[in-house]
């Protein structure tokens, strides 16, 4: 199986930049995903990385280093509505298409 670690909680100020880190261990890496989940709602897809490097999508960017088993999600120009849980998930080629999620990082954006 995988061991996926991410910080439990983070706090940042509106308008600032925040970086949420994720480390993982897997035997057959086949993609890393970031999802956003507001309380009581379903996770929504943010980004996908399968090759090393940075993927940018608007205010959100995601980075992957496969050799280090490391990813981060970068959120710029934080808004109050960005307060949510951010889930890092890894797909393993040995497990078909199932996603293995970390416990999530609860981000609080303050005024």
Partner 1 sequence: DTGVSQDPRHKITKRGQNVTFRCDPISEHNRLYWYRQTLGQGPEFLTYFQNEAQLEKSRLLSNRFSAERPKGSFSTLEIQRTEQGDSAMYLCASSPPQGKNYEQYFGPGTRLTVT
**Is 14:79 a contact under the CB 8 Å cutoff?**
yes
Query: 3-state class of 75 per DSSP?
Result: strand
Cα–Cα nearest to 21, from 5, 33, 35, 40: 5
The encoded tokens of residue 1 equal: 């199986």
Site string for partner 1, 68-107 (x = CB under 8 A): -------------------x-x-x---xxxxxxxxxx---
Nearer to partner 1, 42 or 81 (CB): 42
Q: How many residues form the binding site for partner 1 (CB under 8 A)?
A: 24
In angstroms, the CA 67 to CA 4 distance is 15
Identify which range of 11-19, 44-52, 55-63, 68-76 contacts partner 1 by CB under 8 A: 44-52
| Chain positions contacting partner 1, by CB under 8 A | 4, 31, 33, 35, 41-45, 48, 50, 87, 89, 91, 95-104
């Amino acid at each position: 199986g995988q061991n996926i670690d991410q910080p439990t909680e983070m706090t940042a100020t509106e308008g600032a930049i925040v970086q949420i880190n994720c480390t993982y261990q897997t035997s057959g890496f086949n993609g890393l995903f970031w999802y956003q989940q507001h309380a009581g709602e379903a996770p929504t897809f943010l980004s996908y990385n399968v090759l090393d490097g940075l993927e940018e999508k608007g205010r959100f960017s995601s980075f992957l280093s496969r050799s280090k088993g490391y990813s981060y999600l970068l959120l710029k120009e934080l808004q109050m509505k960005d307060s949510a849980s951010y889930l890092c998930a890894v797909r393993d080629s040995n497990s078909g298409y199932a996603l293995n999620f970390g416990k999530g990082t609860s981000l609080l954006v303050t005024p």
